[in-house]
């Protein structure tokens, strides 16, 4: 048994060592289980000489009883517990009777008797109620309820997947990264300068009318007009401002135009822009890069062609077509009908592109005589729709799980 400690001024004394123990109301320290076995010793050996000291001893014994009682869960443990406290020869209560009560001084006897009676009443009542609980099997039932059945299947939490647009971007990114492009992104809120002027689209240029732009409503004292970018092309300018040639980047992102939603239009859609500028980039590099991408994305059997077109920031500008992936370029649909996807032409419009207009280099301090390059802008939603046979752009934005689940 560890020594009992009490507070005696600045130092701790062992029972019996403090000569004037009986004249103090002592604070015993309850930092150790000091009553363990205390019933086997006489009160004199425990250093108890005054009735006031008994209250602490009995309280400690009672606390120990309560804590042991709470741990009893089955019949075997209950019997051991009951004998340990009520056993005629070696039980705790018998020990208190023999060692504390019988040899007690007349001064202490009355208090010991009262404390013992109180403790016995408590012990008897508790042991009886414990017996009822154990015998009724209630404890086992409660235990069985608490038991964790590790063989039960766990809770399956549904995990989503990457959105198809995101997956398509990943595919496109992998293709371009494999040939030396890197990915850059830019702001979705732009100034007219980056969205138009620096791309060779001055104010009052008719192309601006096609873009039905969303301007932001701002206080007059604000930073000047801002708009939701109508294409990812501003990032070309921002990239060239920061970086000298060679530049090889792709720019994915959301763009905004005031289109009414239908199967092929949305006021928000996804573009992926490409830009390559270096000292010796030719039109052949341009068409070769596009052809490589298209074959990687749609498969080696598709063909590409380009037609002249017009964009303010490229010169010459072209429109790329891919041989129809639904009819294999034959223009024939099922059952001898014309292919509905390419309307019998065998070709599907893919995206616009071209050699960067030398005027654009003037905005970014590139020497138009030394550098050349190409740019392209693809609709990511359109590329996804073509490859995965989706005929309505709106399904990308409706978040219908039945649609999303098809592209895990
Ligand atoms: Zn077709």
CATH number at residue 262: 3.30.930.10
Lowest mean pLDDT among 38-52, 173-187, 337-351: 38-52
Give the Å distance between the CA of 236 and the centre of ligand 1: 34
Give the Å distance between the CA of 351 and the centre of ligand 1: 17
Considering the domain boundaries, does residue 1 fall inside one? no
Residues 307 and 363 in one domain: yes
Give the Å distance between the CA of 298 and the centre of ligand 1: 14
Q: Which domain holds residue 116?
A: 6-146
Considering the domain boundaries, does residue 192 fall inside one? yes
> Is the per-residue pLDDT at 29 higher than 50?
no
> Is the per-residue pLDDT at 9 higher than 70?
no
Residues 119 and 178 in one domain: no
Give the Å distance between the CA of 348 and the centre of ligand 1: 8
110 closest CA partner among 193, 28, 54: 54
Considering the domain boundaries, does residue 158 fall inside one? no
Give the Å distance between the CA of 325 and the centre of ligand 1: 6
pTM, entire model: 0.59
Give the Å distance between the CA of 350 and the centre of ligand 1: 13
Give the Å distance between the CA of 320 and the centre of ligand 1: 16
Give the Å distance between the CA of 47 and the centre of ligand 1: 105
Residues 217 and 100 in one domain: no
Considering the domain boundaries, does residue 153 fall inside one? no
Give the whole-angstrom CA distance, residue 342 versus residue 338.
8
Burial of 278 by CB count in 10 Å (0-12 exposed, 13-18 middle, 19+ buried)?
A: middle
Considering the domain boundaries, does residue 106 fall inside one? yes
Residues 138 and 178 in one domain: no
Give the Å distance between the CA of 219 and the centre of ligand 1: 51
Q: Do residues 271 and 340 touch, judged by C-beta distance below 8 A?
A: no
| Eight-state DSSP code of residue 21 | G
Give the Å distance between the CA of 179 and the centre of ligand 1: 30
Give the Å distance between the CA of 384 and the centre of ligand 1: 16
Give the whole-angstrom CA distance, residue 46 versus residue 57.
10
Residues, beta carbon < 5 Å, ion ligand 1: 324, 326-327, 339, 341-342
Residues 37 and 97 in one domain: yes
What pLDDT is stored for residue 6 in this prediction? Answer: 52
Number of domains in the chain: 2
> Is the per-residue pLDDT at 175 higher than 90?
yes
**What's the whole-number mean pLDDT along residues 353-380?**
89
- Neighbour count for residue 310 (Cβ, 10 Å): 13
Residues 169 and 306 in one domain: yes
Residues 123 and 248 in one domain: no
392 closest CA partner among 206, 267, 266: 266
Considering the domain boundaries, does residue 156 fall inside one? no
Give the Å distance between the CA of 377 and the centre of ligand 1: 23
The two tokens of residue 205 are 């240029």
Question: Which among 146, 172, 200 is the end of a domain?
Answer: 146
Residues 188 and 81 in one domain: no
Residue 380 pLDDT level (bands cut at 50, 70, 90): very high
Considering the domain boundaries, does residue 224 fall inside one? yes
> Is the per-residue pLDDT at 18 higher than 60?
no
Please provide the average confidence, as pLDDT, over all residues in the chain: 84
Residue 221 pLDDT level (bands cut at 50, 70, 90): confident
Give the Å distance between the CA of 322 and the centre of ligand 1: 10
Give the Å distance between the CA of 286 and the centre of ligand 1: 26
Give the Å distance between the CA of 323 and the centre of ligand 1: 8
> Is the per-residue pLDDT at 362 higher than 80?
yes
Residues 296 and 400 in one domain: yes
Considering the domain boundaries, does residue 60 fall inside one? yes
> Is the per-residue pLDDT at 195 higher than 90?
no
Residues 224 and 266 in one domain: yes
Give the Å distance between the CA of 338 and the centre of ligand 1: 8
Give the Å distance between the CA of 321 and the centre of ligand 1: 12
Residue 159 pLDDT level (bands cut at 50, 70, 90): confident
Q: What percentage of the chain reaches a pLDDT higher than 90?
A: 29
- Neighbour count for residue 354 (Cβ, 10 Å): 23
> Is the per-residue pLDDT at 142 higher than 90?
no
Residues 46 and 127 in one domain: yes
Residues 133 and 175 in one domain: no
**What's the whole-number mean pLDDT along residues 226-251?**
90
Residue 25 pLDDT level (bands cut at 50, 70, 90): low
Give the Å distance between the CA of 180 and the centre of ligand 1: 33
What letters, b where the CB count within 10 A reaches 16 and e where it falls short, cover 41-66?
bebbebbbbebebbebbbebbbebbe
The two tokens of residue 237 are 């300018």
Distances (CA, A) of 183 to 44, 105, 351, 377: 87, 94, 19, 14
Give the Å distance between the CA of 349 and the centre of ligand 1: 11
Residue 7 pLDDT level (bands cut at 50, 70, 90): low
Question: Which among 146, 175, 210 is the end of a domain?
Answer: 146
């Amino acid at each position: 048994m560890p020594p009992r400690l009490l507070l005696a001024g600045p130092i701790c004394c062992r029972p019996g060592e403090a000569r004037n123990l009986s004249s103090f109301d002592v604070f015993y320290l309850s930092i150790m289980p000091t009553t363990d076995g205390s019933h086997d010793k006489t009160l004199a050996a425990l250093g108890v000489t005054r009735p006031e000291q008994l209250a602490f001893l009995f309280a400690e014994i009672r606390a120990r009883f309560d804590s042991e009682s709470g741990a009893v869960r089955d019949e075997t443990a209950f019997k051991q517990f009951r004998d340990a406290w009520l056993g005629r020869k070696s039980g705790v209560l018998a020990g208190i009777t023999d060692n504390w009560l019988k040899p007690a001084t007349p001064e202490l006897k009355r208090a010991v008797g009262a404390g013992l009676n109180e403790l016995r009443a408590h012990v008897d009542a508790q042991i009886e109620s414990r017996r009822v609980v154990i015998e009724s099997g209630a404890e086992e039932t409660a235990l069985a309820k608490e038991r964790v059945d590790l063989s039960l299947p766990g809770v399956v939490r549904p995990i989503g997947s990457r959105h198809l647009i995101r997956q398509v971007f990943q595919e496109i990114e992998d293709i371009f990264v494999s040939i030396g492009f890197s990915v850059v992104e830019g702001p979705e809120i732009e100034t007219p300068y980056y969205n138009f002027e620096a791309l060779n689209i001055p104010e009052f240029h008719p192309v601006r009318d096609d873009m039905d732009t969303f301007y932001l409503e701002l206080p007059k004292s604000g930073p000047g007009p801002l708009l939701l970018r109508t294409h990812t092309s501003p990032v070309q300018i921002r990239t060239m401002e920061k970086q000298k040639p060679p530049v090889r980047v792709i720019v994915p992102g959301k763009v905004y135009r005031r289109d009414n939603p239908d199967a092929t239009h949305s006021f928000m859609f996804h573009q992926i822009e490409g830009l390559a500028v270096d000292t010796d980039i030719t039109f052949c590099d341009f068409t070769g890069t596009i052809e490589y991408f298209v074959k990687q994305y749609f498969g080696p059997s598709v063909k590409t062609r380009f037609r002249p077109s017009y964009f303010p920031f490229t010169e010459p500008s072209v429109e790329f077509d891919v041989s129809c992936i639904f009819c294999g370029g034959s223009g024939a649909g099922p059952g001898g009908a014309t292919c509905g996807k390419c309307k019998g032409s065998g070709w599907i419009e893919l995206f616009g592109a071209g050699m960067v207009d030398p005027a654009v280099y003037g905005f970014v301090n590139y020497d138009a005589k030394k550098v050349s390059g190409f740019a392209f802008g693809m609709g990511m939603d359109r590329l996804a729709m073509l490859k995965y046979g989706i005929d309505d752009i709106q399904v990308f934005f409706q978040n219908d799980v039945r649609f999303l689940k098809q592209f895990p």
